[in-house]
Amino acid sequence: MKILILGLLSAWALNAQAELKVVTTTTTLENLVQEIGQDKVDVSSLTKSNQDPHFVEAKPSYMVKLRQADLLVSVGLDLEVGWIGNVQRGAKNPTLLKGSKGFFAAGDHIEAIDIPEGKLDRAEGDVHPLGNPHFHLDPIKTISVVEALAIKLGELDSANAEFYQRRAADYAKTLKEKMKDWESRITKSQVNNVITYHKSLSYFLRRFDLDVVASIEPKPGIPPTAKHIISLIKLVKQKNVKCILNENYFETTAGERIKGVTQASLQIVPVEVQTDYFDLIESLVTAVENCGKGV
Amino acid sequence: MRFTLTLIIFLMSTSVFAQNKANPDLSLNTLFTIRGGSEGNAADAEAANGFALQEAELRLTSNIDTYFRGDVILAVESEDGEYVVEPEEVFIDTLQIPSVTLRLGKFYPYWGRSNQWHTHAQPFIDAPQTREAIFGEEGFNETGLAVSYLLPTPWYFEVVAQAFSAENTAVFGSDTQDDLAGVYFVKNLWDLSDSSTLELDLGYASGKDVLFQSNDVYNAALTYKKKYADARAFIWTAEYTQARKRFVEDEDNPGTYLSNDGLSALSTWLQYQFQKRWWGQLRYEAVSNLDDSSVDDITKSSALVAFVPSEFSAIRLQYDNIDDPSADEAEQRVTLQLNLTMGAHPAHDY
């Protein structure tokens, strides 16, 4: 009987220290929340690391995940515009709607690039009207996101606000230190320019001073034609491009064709976290190094 | 004076800017078809040979304020040779009630797998017989209220209770608007794995027919979806709807009533996305007379191939074979459809 009472009491005590339930749209955001929140958060991602976050179906099981969540963390900048609204409304959890205290869009806390000017035209492909939403591959911009996330977690869980702030500061410090190593390795690789499939890597390439010669997609969201691939082959030869970075959720046929008739190395790279954020950037840096070595 | 004029222009421009930002999402779906069929122009107007604007659908969607969201869908389509504009759906949803959504207006009730699909979102060029044979060309579309509740279960389990002024003459058709029809719907969806789901929908509707006699309609639907890592996808759906015997007014002799036999319809279809932009699909349907077993089923078999260049356009080619025992020969049709979306169209349900 004593054991039963003790058991019930400890279950109650555990419940009293309930973790914040956080749901993110991507595995990268999941990892960042986990790093800041540690054992004070229960975090899961709606999408998998190899899923293209542009094209996700609003599965009802996502709504089940959000129904009891305290916080929804999204990328923002309209990356999830095609599906997140349905999931938010379907969850019937008003605290997670845009503008409510349980909603966080990382894109609100960084300065975006590639913001289109003038009138938008779908003939230009899937252009993001609010700018390029793949900012998480720039570690410095990720620091801004981590700091804003710590503030948001502290707002929802004031008892641990200082803990979140401390964790974010430590994380930022480690990331800044690691940046020096990554920058030096990319400089040593002697790779100056690359081709990517989509504009997913623009922030990473800009941060590490790598020029984007062209994209395998002729326009965002439009698969390459034979004519476009031929023009890319000419460009790769003309500009002595050593590196094709093909994001892992896009097909690789066009990249393989270009590689087959040029000196460029084809590297299939992750875009979202598979293990942790450091490993994600490490994979990209290693891919550039491999291009330099002609692997 | 110059300052005042500048100020007025500035205020006007900021006001217009603010208005643009708050405008509802606006989209237009247009469906063009060209059809060739064995019945020629003797076929129903809906299935006549030649070019046709199958439908144009204008949709406005927006949050109204913190508490409500509104949708207005206007459809332009040909009726007896003339184009008419009809409010297909006009409804509001609540946003702030935990676990519950109230929907009020004219809309397609939560019912079955296919009932809420708009024409451009149907997997085939035409609606399944579970919808068309039972509820007529316009489907099950009523004015009323729906209350949906998401149960706190580990899987998706939604229960919907609805009340409508049932005006669908194919099924209900009471002249008295306060004869409300009750429509009840349950939706279950399980994740079988990260890439596959199973959905079970069950529905029951009860209302009065033109002679104030109670009429019942039942629906069950099962859908399996599998998404492969390389952009391929597979969907199998089976849907069954049954409506009991009901009375309708004889158009040729007003004041007299005809008894319509009970009907059941079964539709089942396979959809296979074999490449990122290509789909191949097959469908089989049977409509049965529940009250006269001597009447053979009407069967319909369809095959479709679709090229989908982007999420805003699709070119679809469909073949139908319709075997109606009351006709001398089976009817055959080939239809090519261009399916286009302009503007900001809201995402479709899963």
Please judge whether A58 and B229 are an interchain contact, meaning their C-beta atoms are less than 8 angstroms apart.
no
Is the CB of residue A172 less than 8 Å from the CB of residue A146?
A: yes
Please judge whether B277 and A99 are an interchain contact, meaning their C-beta atoms are less than 8 angstroms apart.
no
Write down the CATH superfamily of domain A2-173.
Answer: Nitrogenase molybdenum iron protein domain (3.40.50.1980)
pLDDT grade for B163, boundaries at 50, 70 and 90: very high
pLDDT of residue B171: 77
Q: In a mutagenesis test of the B interface, which of A61, A62, A130 is the best target, namely the one with the most B β-carbons within 10 Å?
A: A61
pLDDT of residue B165: 87
Minimal Cα distance from A97: which residue of B? B95
Name the residue among B172, B157, B61 with its Cα closest to residue B118: B61
Strands (E), B13-49: 25-37
Nearest to B347 among A68, A82, A92 (CB): A82
Residue with tokens 């609204």: A85
CATH class for domain B89-341?
A: mainly beta
> What are the structure tokens assigned to A261, written together?
């008739």
pLDDT in tens, B258-293: 778 889 999 999 999 999 999 999 999 999 999 888
Interface of B with A (CB under 8 A): 66, 69, 93, 95-101, 150, 152-156, 158, 187, 189-191, 194, 197, 199, 227, 229-231, 276-277, 310-312, 346-347, 349-350
pLDDT of residue B3: 45
How big is the CA angle at A230 (ends A225 and A236), to the nearest 5 degrees?
Answer: 125
CA end-to-end distance (rounded Å), chain A:
67
Please judge whether A58 and B349 are an interchain contact, meaning their C-beta atoms are less than 8 angstroms apart.
yes
pLDDT of residue B177: 65
Residues 6+ apart with CB under 8 A from A280: A28, A137, A270, A272, A273, A274
What length does chain B have? Answer: 350
Paired with A152 in beta bridges are: none
State the pTM of this model: 0.89
Please judge whether B189 and A60 are an interchain contact, meaning their C-beta atoms are less than 8 angstroms apart.
yes
Helix (H) or strand (E) holding B190: strand B180-191
Residue with tokens 């890319």: A232
Task: Give me the CATH code for the A178-293 domain, please.
Answer: 3.40.50.1980
Is the CB of residue A113 less than 8 Å from the CB of residue A132?
A: yes
Domains A2-173 and A178-293 share a fold: yes
Q: Is residue B164 over pLDDT 70? A: yes
Q: Is residue B236 over pLDDT 60? A: yes
pLDDT of residue B215: 85
pLDDT of residue A3: 53
Residue ranges covered by each domain of chain A: 2-173, 178-293
> What are the structure tokens assigned to A33, written together?
């929340």
pLDDT of residue B4: 47
pLDDT grade for B237, boundaries at 50, 70 and 90: very high
pLDDT of residue A283: 97
Q: Which amino acid, A240?
A: N
pLDDT of residue B9: 46
pLDDT of residue B33: 95
What distance in Å separates residue A94's CA from the closest CA in chain B?
5
pLDDT of residue A5: 52
Counting residues of chain B whose pLDDT is more than 90, the rounded percentage is 66
| Cα-based distances in Å from B94 to B71, B101, B142, B145 | 12, 6, 19, 12
Interface of A with B (CB under 8 A): 48, 50, 55, 57-61, 63-64, 67-68, 82-83, 85-86, 89-94, 97, 99, 122, 126, 221-223, 251
Is the CB of residue A110 less than 8 Å from the CB of residue A207?
A: no
Please tell me whether the interface predicted TM-score (ipTM) of this complex is above 0.90: no
What distance in Å separates residue B342's CA from the closest CA in chain A?
9
CA end-to-end distance (rounded Å), chain B:
58
pLDDT grade for B176, boundaries at 50, 70 and 90: low
Residue B130: strand, helix, or coil? helix
* Secondary structure of chain A in HEC code, one letter for each residue: CHHHHHHHHHHHHHHHCCCEEEEECCHHHHHHHHHHHHHHEEEEECCCCCCCCCCCCCCHHHHHHHHCCCEEEECCCCCCCCCHHHHHHHCCCHHHCCCCCCEEEHHHHCCCCCCCCCCCCHHHCCCCCCCCCCHHHCHHHHHHHHHHHHHHHHHHCHHHHHHHHHHHHHHHHHHHHHHHHHHHHHHHHCCCEEEECCHHHHHHHHHCCCEEEEECCCECCECCCHHHHHHHHHHHHHCCCCEEEEECCCCCHHHHHHHHHCCCEEEEECCCCCCCHHHHHHHHHHHHHHHHHCC
Ordered mean pLDDT values, 10 residues apiece, chain A (295 residues): 50 58 98 97 95 88 96 96 94 96 97 88 84 96 98 97 98 97 96 94 96 93 92 94 94 94 95 96 97 90
Most confident of B13-17, B246-250, B283-287: B283-287
pLDDT in tens, B30-79: 999 999 998 876 666 567 889 999 999 999 999 999 999 999 999 998 88
pLDDT of residue B44: 65
pLDDT of residue B158: 98
pLDDT of residue A16: 46
